Amino acid sequence: MYILRRVSMVAIRAALNLQHGGVRDFYICSLSSRSISQKAALFPLAELIHSRFSTNTFPSWDRAQPMRVLGHNGEINTLQGNVNWMKAREGLLKCKELGLSKNEMRKLLPIVDASSFDSGAFDGVLKLLVQAGRSLPEAVMMMIPEAWKNDKNMDPDRKALYEYFSALMEPWDGPALISCKWLSIEF
């Protein structure tokens, strides 16, 4: 579903000359058979609500919370740097779990659209990491690590894990509250 959604969104936006987040855009909220992205029309046994509204952006479907994997309240202060690092690494992307050739991987690009807002960018990268075989907790720990470097009380194995993650990806920092859907994730 991840590949179908990414390829469809990139192709349809290109064919119709649509701008991500623009007044005219094409956006697939979800293709999941296990969860529904819908605005307050159902009465589920459990629900996650993001009630803060943005005062500095126009509401749009690509900003609907919770997103495909996460609900986010706050901001990612390092967003531009994170977007730039993801763009710089796109040529190196490969993943046997996705079963795609290098040429087919290019059809998923960009992983993070330059006009993405912080929650959308984070959600997109988180989805990619999980789809590529990382567990959801591992992917979140990689993207938003604890302040580990100077923590003398942290378990050495945990500190080593964060050091390893820091070699793979820069942290997505900022005052933020992140909650995630932890189920058999379909994208």
* CB 121 within 8 Å of CB 83: yes
pLDDT at 110 over 70: yes
- In angstroms, the Cα distances linking 142 to 88, 113, 159, 171, 179 are 18, 21, 12, 7, 15
Q: Is residue 44 scored above 70 in pLDDT?
A: no
pLDDT band for position 157 (cuts 50, 70, 90):
very high
Distance, in Å, from the CA atom of 82 to the CA atom of 123, rounded to the nearest integer, reads 13
Kindly state the average pLDDT of the residues 77-89. 89
The pTM score is: 0.67
E strands in the chain = 70-74, 176-180
